């Protein structure tokens, strides 16, 4: 009897230890760190309430660092862009895209120009940007690098030859600031960040002109590791998915910004994988 009780005690203690570990998530750093912390600490509190486990947000310094943290199991859930999500799921067998913003099925990149360039909005690719200085966002960004580079290559050839100078700002907010200041004449930016920053008053539309928007493509999504239920119990993945799909707090949704989250699956991002292979960003 004592032996049985001892075994039960060990099992209970082991289970308690396993559940004591927090469920962690990260997000690609598409804005400055202060904004991200404000945004995702609230999400962590919400997920903890919905799943019944401790949840922590873990900030990272780059898109590549977000993928690495997911691969190394430092985080079990991540808010990825289209490209970084494809990269992460290739590295972690069983990883699954579980939710996306309603806007992410038809995402677009804005090509923006400093007003002093005289460039005007157009419905066709703006070939007049050739010879100007151009900044992408982060090197691993879907909206800030992959999709704009695809269209640039199709219309003008390799960016290094198409522009007088090419830069990588690091995130969308910096791209906006660099183009607004005139440090770069033209840039590519996530449309949602542009609209949010205009609304917040940090971007002056009289100084930054949207000259073209890309055709739509799939982008951001929540991706979860396939082994979470081994640690947090059967059905845990479904709890996380349900929590995301049931998110209705306008304050939480506005921080993304998204109207709501809808179901996602890995196959939704096949166009991103194909584009990444075409321009050499994916094997």
Determine whether 133 is exposed, middle or buried from the number of CB atoms within 10 Å of its CB (0-12, 13-18, 19+).
buried
Nearest to 19 by CA among 257, 232, 258, 269: 232
What are 41-52's pLDDT values in tens digits? 999 999 999 999
The pair phi, psi for residue 248, each rounded to 5°, is -125, -10
Q: Does this chain's domain 2-104+218-278 share its CATH topology with 108-213?
A: yes
Tokens representing 99 are 């939710």
Q: What number of other Cβ atoms are within 10 A of residue 122's Cβ? A: 12
Q: For position 194, what pLDDT does the model report?
A: 94
Tokens representing 10 are 């060990």
Residue 176 to residues 166, 179, 244: CA-CA distances in angstroms? 15, 5, 29
Q: Which residues contact 5 (CB under 8 A, 6 or more apart)?
A: none
Q: For position 15, what pLDDT does the model report?
A: 44
Instruction: Please state which CATH number belongs to domain 108-213.
Output: 3.40.190.10
Q: For position 20, what pLDDT does the model report?
A: 62
pTM: 0.86
Domain ranges (residues) in the chain: 2-104+218-278, 108-213
- Sheet of 261-263: strand order equals 55-57, 23-27, 77-80, 221-224, 96-101, 261-263
Instruction: Note every long-range contact of 201-209, with CB atoms under 8 Å and residues 24 or more positions apart, other chains counting.
Output: 202/173, 202/176, 203/176, 204/180, 206/115, 207/114, 207/115, 207/180, 208/112, 208/113, 208/114, 208/115, 208/176, 208/179, 208/180, 209/112, 209/113, 209/114, 209/115, 209/119, 209/120, 209/121
Residues of the chain with pLDDT under 50: 1, 4-18
2-104+218-278, CATH topology level: D-Maltodextrin-Binding Protein; domain 2 (3.40.190)
Q: For position 117, what pLDDT does the model report?
A: 98
Rounded CA-CA distance 138/169 in Å is 6
């Amino acid at each position: 009897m004592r032996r049985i009780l001892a075994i039960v005690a060990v099992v209970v203690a082991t289970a308690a230890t396993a559940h004591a570990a927090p469920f962690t998530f990260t997000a690609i750093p598409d804005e400055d760190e202060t904004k991200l912390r404000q945004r995702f600490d609230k999400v962590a509190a919400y997920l903890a309430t919905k799943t019944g486990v401790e949840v922590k947000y873990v900030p990272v310094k780059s898109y590549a660092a977000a993928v690495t943290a997911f691969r190394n199991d430092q985080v079990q859930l991540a808010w990825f862009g289209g490209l970084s999500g494809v990269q992460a799921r290739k590295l972690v067998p069983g990883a699954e895209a579980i939710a996306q913003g309603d806007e992410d099925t038809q995402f677009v990149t804005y090509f923006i120009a400093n007003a002093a360039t005289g460039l005007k909005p157009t419905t066709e690719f703006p070939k007049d940007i050739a010879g100007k200085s151009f900044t992408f966002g982060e090197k691993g960004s879907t909206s800030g690098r992959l999709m704009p580079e695809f269209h640039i290559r199709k219309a003008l050839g390799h960016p290094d030859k198409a522009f007088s100078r090419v830069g990588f700002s690091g995130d969308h907010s910096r791209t906006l600031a660099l183009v607004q200041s005139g440090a770069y004449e033209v840039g590519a930016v996530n449309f949602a960040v542009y609209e949010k920053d205009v609304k917040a008053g940090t971007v002056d539309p009289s100084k930054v002109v949207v000259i073209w928007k890309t055709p739509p493509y799939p982008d951001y999504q929540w991706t979860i590791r396939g082994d979470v239920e081994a640690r947090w119990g059967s059905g845990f993945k479904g709890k996380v998915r349900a929590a995301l799909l049931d998110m209705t707090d306008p304050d939480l949704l506005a921080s993304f910004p998204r109207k709501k989250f809808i179901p996602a699956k890995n196959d939704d991002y096949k166009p991103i994988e194909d584009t990444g292979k075409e321009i050499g960003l994916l094997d």
